[in-house]
Structure 1
């Protein structure tokens, strides 16, 4: 169903969200993921003055083609959005109409998403022609706070297109360089290996030398990152001030009546935070971005679960990740009385099914 661009606003009670309808048919990714994306920039999908679903702008000989969303401001198209299935990687070869519509409308921003990854494009390389590479890539499983700050300029409340465009070039190249560096750190290319080998080895760069230094460069890069992290931790711990009672262990943690507000973090050194826990935390943080600033959503790891809290406060639990079981993962969510209910999940993506409960928990602490 396509909404008219007239001033009539559909009733929330009687009108189904067109995006949800397409999503259920597998055309637009996962419903909960796209819900998080739409809410993150706070446009009302039920108001055709803000969002026009299945937007039509005939291009040349092609008639009747539709793009998933057009985001409007002052009756002008500002952003074009095309959604793909959450099960496939994003590929511009499957988004040809996004290129055509970008050139045929006044839009300066194009968005291609599969519900998890959001690629933002503009026309830095040639006027009125969408770039081949995005200037901003937002991954809900690995959120960069710097990008969230830039994304806020595209929200309905603080829309600032000129500021976004002016920052787009730097964002584009800095992001690409960061990804390139990350790739080199994980899997050093021959050029990267040769670059460092030439600085420490005077002999010829033979096949045997290349194989030897490939592992050495990767190991050195990993150790360098660890040294940087450890240095920051030592600095932070060294500047912390403790009372003599705290150092001697005379102070005991306060006990609270509610299970959800107990001191939840063990001080034992054998606690290991896993990549899956960090990924789950990133998903919960992405969901909560619609309610509070991302930096307010904190985490604390314990032996039996990974706690996610508002304002790093034990009295404000948002969720718990119970990922220590060998065969089954659970997410714990809280009701208004801070009672936890655990739910089994088969994959981290299923955390999105509890998006509304997570948001309600956050709102309950505000």
Structure 2
């Protein structure tokens, strides 16, 4: 089962019990321990997970953190747990004390539904007041899954996580700020905007009027911006690949015995997928390779890093995705889906992005 599928199954469990009045021990048993197992940490193996890890603080002896995760024999992650109904406010102070007296790089505060990830970006060995990553499994977005995967035992790379943490922290902070302003803009924010377009005195009644205008204008701006960007990506993709098609046509004419002919349908599928993934990586990273059996969309022209395969020599168009499973001979197990038309490719954006991100992380 792929990592994304495991996460989705875990979300189902959380939704099933979200209205239960779980105390802390129940939350640990039914929600947090299964999540740690999902990440590859065996909660029954002290070489992976130490429960009730002692973190003495000065004269205070016997201070314990709920879980300490070990990677390569070293304590890397501390986890402080709370009951599922807890809003996690103020408890970061407790985790901060534990963080200071250990060599752990990451501190996690969780109620089994929300996970807050902390590190020491502001001051060495002093845990930051604000998390660099927050994950709510009842409101999980696609972009958070690759971030969660970085904390799995097999993928854990503290240097990579810490290098990315600062960007992630401030980026998420900006997104949250803009999201709040979009839903309910405050006076100070509106004053900044209004000064650019209004020369009169900003009375409170005028500020309230600008709030209404801003909310409508901002939504229109975002929609227009996204549409223009998509159109540019599609236009550039088409221009770049006209030469490719012409070169292929010349090769086919020069080699009439070569049975590999790239069809219009296959190229159209390439343009669509490239326009989808162009939002997440450089367009040059998305390439293709045609064979007698199928048409492959590749990452950086690497045949071992194929994103999907298109089969058009059948009654219906079929798209195939690689999975993490392998056959006895080592071949990748594929996940195939039939399509009535290429328009259905847009429905697979999440799947395409998931595979792309996996290859990007492997670089």
The answer to whether the superposition gives a TM-score over 0.5 is: yes
**Aligned twin of 1:140:** 137
Change (3 A) 1:28 1:60: farther
2:162 aligned with 1:165 = yes
Q: CA deviation at 1:75?
A: 2.7
Please give the secondary structure, in 2, of the residue aligned with 1:141.
Answer: helix
If the length of structure 1 is used for normalisation, what is the TM-score?
Answer: 0.55
CA distance in 2, matches of 1:90, 1:312: 42
- The 5 Å alignment of 1:242-321 reads 313=337
Cα 1:137–1:314 shift into 2, 3 Å: farther
Task: State the shift of 1:64 in Å.
Answer: 1.6
Candidates 103, 112, 115, aligned match of 2:112: 115
SS of 2:58 mapped into structure 1: coil
| Structure 2 residues not aligned, in runs of 5+ | 1-20, 239-263, 267-322, 325-333, 340-363
Q: Which TM-score applies when normalising by structure 2?
A: 0.55
Work out which of the two has the higher radius of gyration on C-alpha atoms and give 1 or 2: 2
CA distance in 2, matches of 1:35, 1:232: 43
Match of 2:148 in 1: 151
Gaps of 5+ in 1: 1-22, 244-291, 294-309, 316-366
1:181 corresponds in structure 2 to 178
Deviation at 1:170, TM superposition (A): 1.2
User: Residue in 2 aligned with 1:57?
Assistant: 55
User: Secondary structure of the residue that 2:139 maps to in structure 1?
Assistant: coil
SS of residue in 1 equivalent to 2:53: strand
**Residue 50 of structure 1, CA deviation:** 0.5
8 Å CA contact 2:99–2:126 kept in 1: the answer is yes
> 1 or 2, which has the higher helix percentage?
2
1:29 touches 1:85 (CA, 8 Å); kept in 2? yes
In the alignment, is the contact (CA less than 8 A) between 1:56 and 1:67 conserved in 2?
Answer: yes
Count of equivalent residues:
228
**What is residue 271 of structure 1 aligned with on the other side?**
none
Task: Tell whether 2:101 aligns with 1:100.
Answer: no
Give the 3-state SS of the residue equivalent to 2:116 in structure 1.
Answer: strand
- Structure 1 residue 131 and structure 2 residue 120: aligned? no
The RMSD of aligned alpha carbons is: 3.2
Ranked by relative contact order (alpha carbons within 8 Å, sequence separation 6 or more), the top structure is 1
